[in-house]
Every structure is written in C-alpha cells, then in structure tokens.
Amino acid sequence: MDSAEKLRSVFKKRFPKLLARIENANYSEERFIEQRALASRSKDWPALLERWLDSLVLEPNTAYALTGFGDGSHIAALLDVLPKDSYVFCGEECVESFVSTAQERIVSSLLEDPRLFVGVGDLDADFFESLSRIPILELTNAQAIIFPPSIISRPNSIRPF
C-alpha cells in the first residue's frame, strides 16, 4: 500500500466525511517543499519544538484546538507529551498542503493516534465532523493553542474555528 492509499485508508476509517476532499486534492511538490522549508528555517527544529512545548500547559481531560497542520512534526511532538486522556483537534484549511505533506512524510501513523482529530478544507460542518467523536462528557476543559511557524506564511489563518 503506497502512502496515498494509506492516507485514504486512514481517512475512510477515522474521518470519512473528509475522504472526498483529500481524494480530490492534487499532490503538489511545491506545497510539500513549502512546509518542509519551514522546519529548515530553524537552526535546530527539535529544540524549537521543545521550546514551544515548554510554553504550553497541557492538562488531563482537555480538548485542544490547534490551527495549522504544517509538516506534522509539531503535532507529533505535542502528542508525545499530551496526557493520554486529552485530545487535539487540528484544523488545516489548505487541503493541497495537507495531502502533499501527509503523503510525503507518511504521517498516517500520526493520523491513527486516537487522541488526534483533524478538520481539512473549508470550515463547514464536515470540517468539524470528527469533533463529534471526541468523548466530550469526559472533558473538563477546552483550549486553543497555536504554533505560529506552521502558519507563518498565512498569518490570516490564526482565527478561531
């Protein structure tokens, strides 16, 4: 199974309402390079991710909303330290960018993490559909967090969704 098929398979299982969006999006090497270039702008990306995590207070039983999928590395870093009973909803408006990065970096395993939910494309009902599967009754808090480097080229995308 190649990475595109794997991505479709994960979406079919976890985010079926968004499957058509990723199937209709074209892979763009330019988009992938754009996302990868973000990480290469830092002299030490892992250290930068650590500093970002240092600034966050991550609590149990909390849902976090995060803008921008970027290259996925900050989400992986976040999930590494996120309490097991907390969740992340990541929104990415640019489907092409999401698909290109997801295919190249084979982030399917990241998308299989049961604590991660995604919304891709236009901010409509389907974008937020996966939120309905977060066990809300177990939660005590909800917070928005941002990772500005993942949206540095799209400053207007910092807005509540």
Partner 1 sequence: MSSKVILDGETVTFEGPSPSTCGEVWTLLEDHLGQAGILIDRFLVDGVAWSPDSENNQVVYSIIEVFTVTFEQNVAHIVEALLKEGEELQEQWKLGASKSLSKPWSQFQPEAVRILNETQPLVQSIGLLAEYSKQNQKQWSNEISRLGEKINVVLSSLMDAIEAGDCVTFSDFAGSKLCATLAEVYKLLSIAVLPSLGELRADG
Rounded to an integer, what distance in angstroms lies between the CA atom of residue 145 and that of residue 91?
11
Report if residue 155 touches partner 1, rule: CB under 8 A: yes
Among 4, 34, 56, 104, binds partner 1 (CB under 8 A): 56
Stretch that binds partner 1, among 17-25, 92-100, 127-135, 145-153 (CB under 8 A): 145-153
* Closest CA relative to residue 65, chosen from 87, 86, 89: 89
Asked whether position 52 contacts partner 1 by CB under 8 A, the answer is yes
Nearest to 90 by CA among 113, 106, 59, 58: 113
By CB under 8 A, which span of 47-55, 94-102, 108-116, 120-128 interacts with partner 1? 47-55
Which distant-in-sequence residues (6+ apart) come within 8 Å of 138 by Cβ?
61, 85
Task: Confirm or reject binding of residue 64 to partner 1 (CB under 8 A).
Answer: no
User: Shortest approach of partner 1 to residue 125 CB, angstroms?
Assistant: 27
Residue 160 interacting with partner 1 (CB under 8 A):
no
Residue 41 binds partner 1 (CB under 8 A): yes
Interface with partner 1 includes 146 (CB under 8 A)? yes
13 binds partner 1 (CB under 8 A): no
Is position 76 an interface residue for partner 1 (rule: CB under 8 A)? no
* 3-class SS of residue 103: helix
CB of 61 to partner 1, least distance (A): 21
Eight-class DSSP state of 159:
S
Rounded-to-integer distance, Cα 9 and Cα 97, Å? 19
63 sits in which H/E element: strand 62-67
What type of residue sits at position 92? Answer: E
Q: Is 43 in the site for partner 1 (CB under 8 A)?
A: yes
